[in-house]
Amino acid sequence: MNSTPRLPTGGDVLVRAMKRHGIDTAFGVISVHNLPLVEAVSRELRFVEMRHEAAVVNAADGYGRATGGIGVAITSTGTGAGNAAGSMIEALTARSRVLHVTGQIDSEFLDAPRGVIHEFPAQLQMLDAVSVFAATVPSADRAEAVLEQALAAIGGAPGGPASVEWPSDLQYLARPDDQQPFDVPEPALPETDEASLDEAVALLASARRPVLWVGGGAAGAGAELAALAHRLGAGVLTSNSGRAIVPEDDDLVIGNFASSAAVAPLLAEADLMLSIGTHFRSNETKSYSLDLPKRHVQIDVDPAAVGRVYPAEVGLVGDAAAVLARLLDRLPGSTTEAEWPARVREVRAKVRAELYDYIGGYAEICRGLRSILPRESVVARDVTIPSSQWGNRLLEFYDRRTNIFPLGGGIGQGLAMGIGASVGRPDSPTVVFAGDGGLSVHLGELASLAGTGAWCVVLVFNDGGYGVLRNMQRANGLDVTAVDLYTPDFHAVARAMDMPYWLVRGAGNFETTLREAVQAHRPVMIEVDVTALAPQPGAFTPPVHIPTANGRT
């Protein structure tokens, strides 16, 4: 038996920083370049073993989104950090709260590349490109200060993922007791201009048919938004990431349907739009061609966002909740037409009914999910047709943290996001949507999921390939190529992962299947045979502009 007392390491420094920020879990892949970090987290907190570093970051991201806290991703230097980069792009796009800690070769070799194993001299540049903050731990006694800087950047305004690379020797040499003192910078919030607030109030107070457009930047402003919407009788449109900041069963919430045909007349009638924390992304605005009310008041924490996509008559720079609270304070009363809220409700009902009709056999699945899952359940969705067509709008959410999807549109990330969410929210079942294509990107992560034992239903929509691209090729007269894939036997895959498995073929049995699957209270798989859905759903073609298809029929 080894009786030498265990010396503290940088891992204990990381654990102390995590504890200070209320973080109890990290996701990662162990490596010779992060051993002390993984060892301390495993000992003191919880370390979740993933299989690929891209999935490590997705899981940390899903954990952060689902809990409202910070997700920690621990990867290896070189290829490990490179593997993480694609998912860091997603975290950066969504401004997720992810602390990515990766290794680096020993500090003595950092300045002069000489072919050390795992060496990648441009690692910091790469991390910098995919993070809001990236730094190298410069010395053993500066580790905690660098971690704190990264954590402060994550929580900044608007914040986002941060990366720290940590030379292996300094991971062993760092000690909690030897750390240099550090300042934790306060996030600096811009001051909102008083005159602009008055202008905005004047416009809102004279609007007859107002709408709100809510983006992810309005997270944390749910109460103020709901109060304002009801005070004004305004319809609430949202981006995908702005969903459920106001719960979607609020009957003024039209939701992520702005580009639907039935909403166009409402937008044409509206005489004022107040947008809050949104990017007006291409796939939410028909590639920026959507007609929106000309009278536009825009709230954003980033001054550069004001008027960037749609011109704004008044821009209010600041934190969404704070600005909305001030608007509510000053707003005298509402001049909204008495019939307007009813008009909003009518459109809200119409877009839903039309989509339910169009999606055929998927309607049973969409309704079944809502009837079986508790309101608190996360539904983490990969980029598959059931997400893009109806999961991203028709499937109702009540809390923003439960609506998890890759904002940047990269396939293969949904499963690991769901793993992170199910680990972070053990009290309710998590559901993952994955296409047969998207699930195959990271089949190995099913083993990670099995290892957690988490309460997670993996719902695989199998159409034998890349359905969305197949539809796109057909709709644009392109050759149908590279989309009909070899498809694994998912039942055999589930068996290999010790996951109970159900197949849904044809109509009428989804709800019963989901109920059983949820009751298993562990990782399980339901495969939906998309070709057997009845009635067959209308085709989904994504709202993507294809220049080469111009002029072709």
Residues found near Mg ion in the complex (CB under 5 A): 435-437, 463, 467
Backbone angles phi and psi of 123, in degrees to 5:
-60, -40
Decide: 92 and 132 in contact? Cβ < 8 Å.
Answer: yes
Please check whether residue 37 is in contact with residue 45, taking contact to mean a CB–CB distance below 8 angstroms. no
Residue whose CB is nearest to ligand TPP in the complex, by number: 435
Q: Which two tokens stand for residue 4?
A: 């030498």
Rounded to a whole number of angstroms, the minimum distance from the CB of residue 476 to Mg ion is 19
* Residues 11-50 interacting with ligand TPP (rule: CB under 6 A): none
Instruction: Output 466 or 490, the one with its CB closest to ligand TPP.
Output: 466
Q: What SS3 class is residue 27?
A: strand
Q: Between 347 and 383, whose beta carbon lies closer to ligand TPP?
A: 383
Pairing of strands 314-317, 296-300: parallel
Answer with the entry of Mg ion, ligand TPP, none that 409 interacts with (C-beta below 5 to 8 A by kind). Answer: ligand TPP
Neighbour-count burial of 174, counting CB atoms closer than 10 A to its CB (0-12 exposed, 13-18 middle, 19+ buried): buried
Smallest gap from residue 427 Cβ to ligand TPP (A): 29
- Residues in CB range of 99: below 8 A, 6 or more apart: 23, 60, 70, 71, 72, 73, 147, 150, 151, 154, 161, 162, 164
542/435 Cα distance (integer angstroms):
15
Q: Does 514 bind ligand TPP (CB under 6 A)?
A: no
Residue 468 binding result from Mg ion, ligand TPP, none, given CB thresholds of 5 to 8 Å by partner type: ligand TPP
For ligand TPP, the binding residues in 461-480 under the rule CB under 6 A are 461, 463, 466-469
Q: How far is the CB of 463 from Mg ion (least distance, A)?
A: 4
Residue 406 contact partner, candidates Mg ion, ligand TPP, none, CB within 5 to 8 A by sort of partner: none
CB-based contacts of 342: which residues, under 8 Å, 6+ apart?
Answer: none
Nearer to ligand TPP, 207 or 383 (CB): 383
Q: Does 384 bind ligand TPP (CB under 6 A)?
A: yes
Nearest approach in angstroms of CB 528 to ligand TPP is 10
Q: Does residue 398 bind ligand TPP (CB under 6 A)?
A: no
**Following DSSP, what letter does each residue of 358-404 receive, concatenated?**
HTTTHHHHHHHHHHHS-TT--EEE-SSHHIIIIITTTS--SSGGGEE
Q: Give the phi and the psi of residue 364 in degrees, each rounded to 5.
A: -60, -40
Amino acid at 546: I
Q: What is the x/- site pattern for ligand TPP, positions 283-322, by CB under 6 A?
A: ----------------------------------------
SS (H, E, C) 115-178: CCCCCCCCHHHHHHHCCCEEEECCCHHHHHHHHHHHHHHHCCCCCCCEEEEEEHHHHHHCCHHH
Q: Which stretch binds ligand TPP (CB under 6 A): 165-173, 372-380, 408-416, 499-507?
A: 408-416
Rounded Cα distance between 47 and 15, Å, is 11
**Choice between 336 and 387, CB closer to ligand TPP:** 387
Cβ pair 456, 526 in contact under 8 A: no
* Least Å from the CB of residue 286 to ligand TPP: 19
Nearest approach in angstroms of CB 495 to ligand TPP is 21
Contact flag: residue 383 with ligand TPP (CB under 6 A): yes
- Could you say whether residue 418 binds ligand TPP (CB under 6 A)? no
Question: Which of Mg ion, ligand TPP, none does 408 bind, CB closer than 5 to 8 A by kind?
Answer: none
Amino acid at 363: A
Q: How far is the CB of 436 from Mg ion (least distance, A)?
A: 4
Residue pair 324/228 in contact (Cβ under 8 Å)? The answer is: yes
Smaller CB separation from ligand TPP, 15 or 468: 468
How many residues bind ligand TPP (CB under 6 A)? The answer is 17
HSE-CB for 390 with a 13 A CA cutoff: 25
Nearer to ligand TPP, 8 or 86 (CB): 86
Exactly one of 233, 437, 523, 537 binds ligand TPP (CB under 6 A); which one?
437
CB of 385 to ligand TPP, least distance (A): 4
Query: Segment near ligand TPP (CB under 6 A), from 184-192, 271-279, 378-386, 493-501?
Result: 378-386
216, 341, 438, 523: residue in contact with ligand TPP (rule CB under 6 A): 438
Do residues 103 and 65 lie in contact, with contact meaning Cβ atoms separated by under 8 Å? no
Q: Which helix (H) or strand (E) holds 213?
A: strand 210-214
Q: HSE of 314 in the Cβ direction (CA atoms, 13 Å)?
A: 20
Residue 47 site contact among ligand TPP, Mg ion, none (CB < 5 to 8 Å, cut-off depends on kind): none
To the nearest whole angstrom, how small is the minimum distance from the Cβ of residue 488 to ligand TPP? 12
Q: How far apart are CA 89 and CA 38, in angstroms?
A: 24
Region of 109-117, 214-222, 246-254, 431-439 interacting with ligand TPP (CB under 6 A): 431-439
156 binds, among Mg ion, ligand TPP, none (CB under 5 to 8 A by kind): none
Query: What does 277 interact with, of Mg ion, ligand TPP, none (CB < 5 to 8 A by kind)?
Result: none
User: Which residues of this chain interact with ligand TPP, rule CB under 6 A?
Assistant: 383-385, 409-412, 435-438, 461, 463, 466-469
